Amino acid sequence: MGITNVNLNDVTRIAIKAGKILLTSGAEIYRVEDTITRICKAYKVECETFVVPTGIFITAYGKDGETITHVKRIKERTINIKKIEAVNAFSRSLNNRVPDYSEAMNILDSIEHEREYPFWLKLAATSVTAFAFVLLFKGTSYESIAAALISAIVYFFKERVVQVSLFPFLGFFISGIVAGSLSILFSVLISGLNIYKIIIGAIVIHLPGMAMTNGIKDALYGDITSSMNRISEAFFSVAAICAGVALALLVFL
């Protein structure tokens, strides 16, 4: 199984598959481009790649003058550090051994379809994060427990809305409404609770911190278009959450 068994079209398919996994998992633009270039170089193929948060463009050049261009549209993006690390490990392993097309695609398929953490564990992690943040803001144990419960409920609703909605920011808007409404409800049921500390704890895990960070990193690497795209996405996500919270406070307070 060597490089001779992989043609130009196969190489671009392997590279774009790896790039897709990285981009949909929340990787930075420079990392996606570097990985694609690294994979093509391992297969002795010269390429040019251009990546934006919504698409991947690859042009590969064969030794006989053949040129192939592939375009991959990216519609969904999430955060999965484990998949990013796995693709990075795969691209670096090519320095020691270059697999054929079938083996490389099987490896990438296994990474792409790797089993995620169970939903109950995500809910638990969300609750623990909310609990800790309220304590960080010097909230009481009752406020921390309230924020933990609300954050789990918000996460549940957000995931369900994202699955059925074509409008990506609707999930953030609903999250803000649920967080604000339930925080007010808890303050009514238990006197003395600080609504705003509960709201902070309930929504902090849902804020797009990684998108903002990657946007800044892309700008530092010179990817201005991608940087503005990510920062704008993060800004609108925050605005949607804030609008939902504001609507709940306006209606129920």
DSSP assignment of 54-80 equals: TEEEEEEE-TTS-EEEEEEE-------
Single-letter amino acid code for the residue at 117 = Y
Choose the final residue of a domain: 87, 112, 137: 112
pLDDT of 204 higher than 70: yes
Here the tokens at position 133 are 């943040």
pLDDT given at position 3: 52
Task: Looking at the structure, tell me whether residues 52 and 147 fall in a common domain.
Answer: no
Indicate if 47 and 170 belong to the same structural domain. Answer: no
Residue 101 and residue 20 share a domain: yes
| Domain span holding position 25 | 3-112
* Sign of the C-alpha dihedral computed for residues 128, 130, 133 and 135 taken in this order: negative
What would you report as the CA-atom Rg of the chain, rounded to the nearest whole angstrom?
Answer: 22
Measured distance between the N- and C-terminal CA atoms of the chain, rounded to whole angstroms? 68
- Residues 142-162: tens digit of each pLDDT: 999 999 999 999 988 888 877
* In a shared domain, residues 155 and 240: yes
Q: Give me the pLDDT at residue 166, please.
A: 61
107 and 123: one domain? no
Q: pTM for this one?
A: 0.81
Give how many domains the chain has, as a whole number.
2
My answer on whether 172 and 223 are in the same domain is yes
- Are residues 90 and 124 both part of a single domain? no
The pLDDT value recorded for residue 13 is 93
- Are 123 and 106 within one domain? no
Q: How confident is the model at residue 1 (pLDDT cuts 50, 70, 90)?
A: very low
Q: Check pLDDT > 80 for residue 197.
A: yes
pLDDT 10s digits, 71-99: 999 888 888 889 999 999 999 999 888 99
Examine the fold and report which residue of 73, 95, 112 is the final residue of a domain before the chain moves on.
Answer: 112
* Amino acid at site 173: F
Q: What is the mean pLDDT of residues 11-38?
A: 92
Task: Based on the fold, state whether residues 85 and 141 are members of the same structural domain.
Answer: no
Shared domain check, 131 and 76:
no
Q: What is the mean pLDDT of residues 191-220?
A: 87
Domain boundary residue, one of 67, 86, 112: 112
Structural tokens at position 180: 């604000």
Average pLDDT score over residue span 196-220: 87
pLDDT at 5: 59
Specify whether 140 is located in the same domain as 225. yes
- List, as own/partner pairs, every contact residues 42-45 make where C-beta atoms lie below 8 angstroms and the sequence separation is at least 24, other chains included: 42/91, 42/94, 42/95, 42/98, 43/3, 43/6, 43/11, 43/14, 43/94, 43/98, 44/3, 45/8, 45/11, 45/12
Please tell me whether residues 85 and 160 are part of one structural domain. Answer: no
Mean pLDDT of 53-60: 92
User: Percentage of the chain surpassing pLDDT 90?
Assistant: 49
Average model confidence (pLDDT) for the chain? 88
